[in-house]
Structure 1
Amino acid sequence: MDKRIISLAPVLSAHPKVLILGSMPSRISLEKQQYYANTRNHFWNILYTLFQIAPIESYDEKIQFVRKRHLALWDSIGSCYREGSLDANIEDETPNDIPALLKMYPSISLIACNGTKSYQTFMKYFSVDIDIDIKKLPSTSPIPGRYTKSFEGKVADWKVILDYIENDA
């Protein structure tokens, strides 16, 4: 293993309503210091589809879009060792302090875990400390797995976040 990797800082608006938790950003995302920077990842396209908008190219504009929609982005893992970008290769993880974030942002009413590893890590460290809705959503990763859904299937599952925000943006 190389050195310990550190996740990105959270993306937050003044009053986020949905916290979307990944596991640990990919190597590409960490290099670019951008959430979901791998163009093959379905994350941004799922959001564009949910909110019925045209794709956005600029990362700064993507972050403005997230904030305007009362979404927050972070990861369940704050640091770990990992060779490559696969969640299966994560070792010796340390979680991010999600309970502290939730205390600072009581407007958050849903934690949407992007994939199994994010959900499992969150539940391992925090399930008893959290009294808001938690949903495990299909991973937006482009890596095929045993339970990979179609893009349309992922969008259908991800629609749950719309129930927690006001689509007034």
Structure 2
Amino acid sequence: MNLRKAALPPAVRPDIRVLVLGSLPGEASLAAGRYYAHPRNQFWALIGAVIGMETLPAQPYEARLGHLLEARVGLWDTIASAQRSGSLDSAIRAPEAAPLADLVATLPDLRCVAFNGAKAARTGRIALQRPTIALIDLPSSSPAHAARSLAEKREHWLRLQHFLG
């Protein structure tokens, strides 16, 4: 059965410089009400490297989110809701786009929007076409995206450091 799933609220504050956008949270994240809750998702290790905090994945969720916001990195998704059975992006049907342009308009210090995976990039690039903000496609942190090693993904993700300084 394809139940309609809704995204989590944005995790942002007005001074963020980098906004990382996924597509739509998977089952583990939706059940926990937390971003990137699947234990094999590499997001927290990748973003921990970006903000210079290698111990980030081992910390409690609220502390991880707090460190991320303190480093001026925000989180959200490109899809507000969709029908989907399971967690795979390929199973997303009837997506409703998140109001990304509206959110970006409230973030005066934003320098970069990073898309966590191909589906997020395809969906998000349609909504965001402001020439003053860099749009960066990143390899997905999802455990379903095993085509690249963590080290290869990390190399791409570290490009975000440029926008935080």
TM-score, length of structure 1 as denominator length: 0.91
State the match for 2:66 in structure 1: 64
State the match for 1:164 in structure 2: 163
Give runs of aligned pairs for residues 134-153 of structure 1, distance below 5 A.
134-144=135-145, 148-153=147-152
Displacement after TM superposition at 1:33 (Å): 0.4
Displacement after TM superposition at 1:12 (Å): 0.8
Paired residue total: 162
Unaligned runs of 5+ in 1: none
Q: Match for 1:137: what amino acid?
A: L
Verify the 8 A CA contact 1:99 1:126 in the aligned structure 2. yes
Identity of aligned residues (%): 29
Distance 2:105 2:128 in 1: 15
TM-score, length of structure 2 as denominator length: 0.93
Q: Which runs of 4+ in 1 moved over 3 A?
A: none
Displacement after TM superposition at 1:164 (Å): 0.2
State the match for 2:80 in structure 1: 78
Displacement after TM superposition at 1:46 (Å): 1.1
Q: Match for 1:96: what amino acid?
A: A
CA shift digits 1:75-110 (9 cap, x unpaired): 000000011000000011011101011111121110
State the match for 1:103 in structure 2: 105
* Aligned-CA RMSD value: 1.3
Q: Equivalent residue of 2:41, what SS?
A: coil
Unaligned runs of 5+ in 2: none
